[in-house]
Amino acid sequence: MTFKELFSQFSFAEIRPAFLNLWQTNEPKQVGHLDLGKWERIYLNVQALEAKSPQYYIRLVWRWETCSPMIDMNCSVYDKADNHLNCPVACYPSWSEIAGMEVVVEKDIVITPQELVAGLLWEITYFGGTEEMAEENRKRIFQYQGAVMDNTSKKL
């Protein structure tokens, strides 16, 4: 089933408990500040994405709760041709392509469809609530990290 097909199955109200559980588990200090109306609008926008047919698929190898670091390789994009790892879903730049990707869950993972959709929402919006915002934040964060790494290596 594709990302978009999964998101088409549920309203935000149906995934809200699982989504709140992710926040409670992974960001307990932030859960009280969530604007669920805003998150519902983001969810509706993700549901409305025009799905493109990419050469990649999404593989979930571990649930999102208690993953460390928060962006790790638990939910990543892989090439269909050779199963080569491309990047975490949170770092993939095209949300329309993500919407068209098949989602593969490792057989030893116990997860409800609502928890899966909540986790995929968590993943795609990790850097921001829109594709443009996420791209801008990724560039800013990774550019800063690159600058820090460059400065560190110069000192060595």
Report the alpha-carbon distance of residue 138 to residue 128 in Å, rounded.
9
What is the helix (H) or strand (E) element at residue 58, kind and residue range? Answer: strand 56-60
Contact 103, 91 (CB under 8 A): no
List strands edge to edge, sheet with 85-88: 85-88, 75-79, 56-60, 103-105
In the chain, the percentage of residues whose pLDDT exceeds 90 is 73
Report the alpha-carbon distance of residue 154 to residue 142 in Å, rounded.
18
94-138 confidence digits (pLDDT tens): 999 999 999 999 999 999 999 999 999 999 999 999 999 999 998
pTM, rounded to two decimals: 0.86
10 Å Cβ neighbour count for 156? 4
- The interaxial angle of helices 36-47 and 113-124, nearest 10 deg, is 100
What is the helix (H) or strand (E) element at residue 114, kind and residue range? Answer: helix 113-124
15-63 confidence digits (pLDDT tens): 999 999 999 998 889 988 999 999 999 999 999 999 998 899 999 998 8
* SS3 of the chain: helix, strand, coil, percent, to 5: 55, 10, 35
